[in-house]
Amino acid sequence: MAISAADVMKLRKATGAGMMDCKNALTEAEGDFNRAVEIIRERGKLVASKRSDREASEGATLAKTSADGKFGAIVVVNCETDFVAKNEGFVALTQSFLDVAVENKPADLDALKALTLDGRTLADHVTEQTGVIGEKIDLSYYGCINAASVVAYIHPGNQLATLVGFNQENVDTQVAKDVAMQVAAMNPVAVDKDFVSQEVIEKELEIAKEKFRQEGKPEAMLDKIAQGALTKFFKENTLLNQAFVKDNKVSVQEYLNSSSKGLTATGFIRFTLGE
């Protein structure tokens, strides 16, 4: 039977599959649109199965906040090649997943994958797009923050994104963005020293003691010297104590206080592909 161009375009719009794939599916389905959709989805599952052991290390990392500014999310979708990662359709796919996350505020990645978009779960969309694109696609990461104010930052190239939560509402837009960019640039380990895990503290103390031991410092002095090194570590690696990148004469906390008394960061998330 003859397959019209209009039917092919309708199927392509519904599935995102290529023109020839849509035409072939409609031909196989003898013009039955719903069956053609199922054929394309079944092929997507087959391709996904065949490519399940492939490495998907490229992708897009996007962040967004809710309309009220009190919730933010980061979503990462991986693919195999940089070519696909930069494709507008792939970035749009990642954005659609992020929109679902911000609207529904799921508890974790599994909950996000179970949410629906256009009547299908995000997990099903991932499988289908694997068939359409021909590469392994993976919705690999989801993180979120709830706070009085949340700011999102996406570094150009869609490889790095950050979220920062603050304890006050209506934080100055530029101030919030500056802190989000600070997180992107300086990669702090925690908001403040009180948020650094005991495991990290013990590791840093041991590294410091071994360093000074190798330098010949007396064993009896190592604990005290290591505590000094730990203080330096907190200053350089915790967000609020770091020197502000735009003015290294003040700390990030001092910069926040200069904008609004008592303003501070309550948490942050930083995700980058390739690290």
Mean pLDDT of the chain: 88
Q: pLDDT at position 214, please?
A: 81
* Nearest-angstrom CA–CA distance, 207 and 223: 11
Q: Read off the pLDDT of each residue in 56-64 and give the average, rounded to a whole number.
A: 92
User: What is the tens place of the pLDDT at every residue in 73-116?
Assistant: 999 999 989 999 999 999 999 999 999 999 999 999 999 999 99
Residue 263 near residue 257 (C-beta atoms within 8 A): yes
Higher-confidence residue of 205 and 255: namely 255
Q: pLDDT at position 220, please?
A: 74
Domain ranges of the chain: 5-50, 58-146
User: What is the tens place of the pLDDT at every residue in 132-188?
Assistant: 787 888 999 999 999 999 999 999 999 999 999 999 999 999 999 999 999 999 999
Say which residue the tokens 């940089």 belong to: 82
Helix ranges (DSSP H) in 134-221: 173-186, 198-214
Q: Read off the pLDDT of each residue in 24-34 and give the average, rounded to a whole number.
A: 76
Token digits of residue 212 = 């000074």
Residue 79 near residue 58 (C-beta atoms within 8 A): yes
Q: Read off the pLDDT of each residue in 31-51 and give the average, rounded to a whole number.
A: 66
Domain 58-146 CATH class label: alpha beta
5-50 belongs to CATH 1.10.8.10:
yes
- From 187, 179, 171, select the one nearest 255 (Cα to Cα): 179
CA distances from 249 to 5, 66, 189, 242, 253 (A): 65, 34, 21, 10, 12
Confidence grade of residue 211 (pLDDT, cut at 50, 70, 90): confident
* Nearest-angstrom CA–CA distance, 74 and 62: 6
Pairing outcome for strands 247-251 and 149-154 = unpaired
% of the chain at pLDDT higher than 90 = 57
Neighbours of 205 (CB within 10 A): 17
Neighbours of 243 (CB within 10 A): 17
- From 94, 95, 73, select the one nearest 144 (Cα to Cα): 73
